[in-house]
Amino acid sequence: MKFFANDIKDKYVMSSDGKYLGQVDNLVVDTKSGKVLHVLVLPSEEIDVRRFRLDSQQRIVLPFDKVKSIKDVVIFSHLD
């Protein structure tokens, strides 16, 4: 999957079961390989962030390998 970081920034993030999680804020990239490791998400006020790993800025840290689709929204699968 190829994309530019600007293409994904601010996109809405949904779980595969239709829950709105928030908006993409940034990416974590391995500088040696160029591989995207994580997506940092500004959480929606409606979700319980205790279910997720958070970074020091209280963004949800989601593994990039769980991305199912990047189109109008970013869909993550198997987040349980």
Is the domain spanning 5-76 CATH 2.30.30.240? The answer is yes
Residue 5 parent element (H or E): helix 5-8
| Average pLDDT of span 74-79 | 90
Q: Which pLDDT score is estimated for 80?
A: 66
Given a cut of 70, whether residue 21 has pLDDT beyond it is yes
Here the tokens at position 72 are 């109008």
Q: Contact at 8 Å (CB) between 39 and 24? A: yes
Alpha-carbon distance of 7 to 57, in angstroms, equals 22
Q: Contact at 8 Å (CB) between 76 and 21? A: yes
Given a cut of 80, whether residue 3 has pLDDT beyond it is no
| 26 backbone dihedrals φ, ψ, rounded to 5° | -165, 175
Q: Between β-strands 12-15 and 20-29, what pairing exists: parallel, antiparallel or unpaired?
A: antiparallel
Domain ranges, ordered by start, for the chain: 5-76
Given a cut of 80, whether residue 46 has pLDDT beyond it is yes
